[in-house]
């Protein structure tokens, strides 16, 4: 799983409005996780502030014609470790846990939590938090 963040903002945008689209790529393709509209200094956003963005076309930019993932994309997107969602006023990044089934499978294949964290591009404490959530849900029996 490789997360990407795509930001859409007009060059002539004095208010600073922007659209932030979070997506992830896996071995089976890409999917959109979140679309956020952020009001800039003006404090309001209208539907006229942004062009139409086709999520299907955006996803196709991250997958090859045969459905497999292409080689690493150009530097137009920021891979791995991108900030998913900010809570509060601090600068700490919060990353969303991947699909529980995918994570349980990867956990069973990994030799350590550190290896698993590296595979998902997150700090070890984040991975430990995700694994604790899976244990609380009864999806994982401790190792």
pLDDT at 24: 87
Domain positions in the chain are: 1-72, 92-143
Residues in CB range of 26: below 8 A, 6 or more apart: 1, 2, 69, 102
- DSSP per residue over 83-126, as a string? --B--SSS---B-----HHHHHHHHHH-S-HHHHHHHHT--HHH
Query: What pLDDT does 92 receive?
Result: 53
Give yes or no for residue 57 having a pLDDT over 70: yes
Please list the residues that pair with 28 across neighbouring strands. Answer: none
Q: Which of 60, 68, 53, 67 is nearest to 21 (CA)?
A: 53
What CATH code would you report for 92-143? Answer: 1.10.10
Q: What pLDDT, on a 0 to 100 scale, did the predictor assign at position 69?
A: 52
First and final CA of the chain: distance in angstroms?
Answer: 23
- pLDDT confidence of residue 93: 56
The pLDDT, as a whole number, for residue 89 is: 46
Only one residue has tokens 């604790």, namely: 132
pLDDT of 38 reads: 81
Separation in Å, CA 22 to CA 2, 110, 127: 11, 26, 20
Of 52 and 78, more confident: 52
Is pLDDT of 70 > 70? no
Residue 78: the pLDDT is: 36
């Amino acid at each position: 799983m490789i997360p990407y963040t795509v930001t859409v903002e007009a060059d002539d945008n004095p208010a600073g409005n922007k659209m932030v689209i979070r997506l992830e790529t896996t071995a089976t393709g890409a999917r959109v996780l979140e679309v956020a509209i952020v009001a800039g200094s003006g404090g309001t956003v209208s539907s006229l502030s942004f062009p139409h963005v086709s999520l299907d076309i955006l996803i196709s930019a991250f997958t090859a014609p045969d459905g497999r993932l292409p080689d690493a994309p150009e530097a137009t997107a920021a891979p791995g470790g991108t900030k998913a969602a900010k809570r509060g006023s601090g600068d700490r990044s919060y990353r969303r846990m991947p699909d529980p089934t995918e994570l349980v499978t990867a956990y069973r294949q990994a030799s350590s939590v550190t290896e698993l964290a590296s595979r998902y591009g997150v700090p070890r404490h984040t991975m430990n938090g995700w694994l604790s959530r899976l244990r609380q849900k009864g999806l994982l029996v401790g190792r």
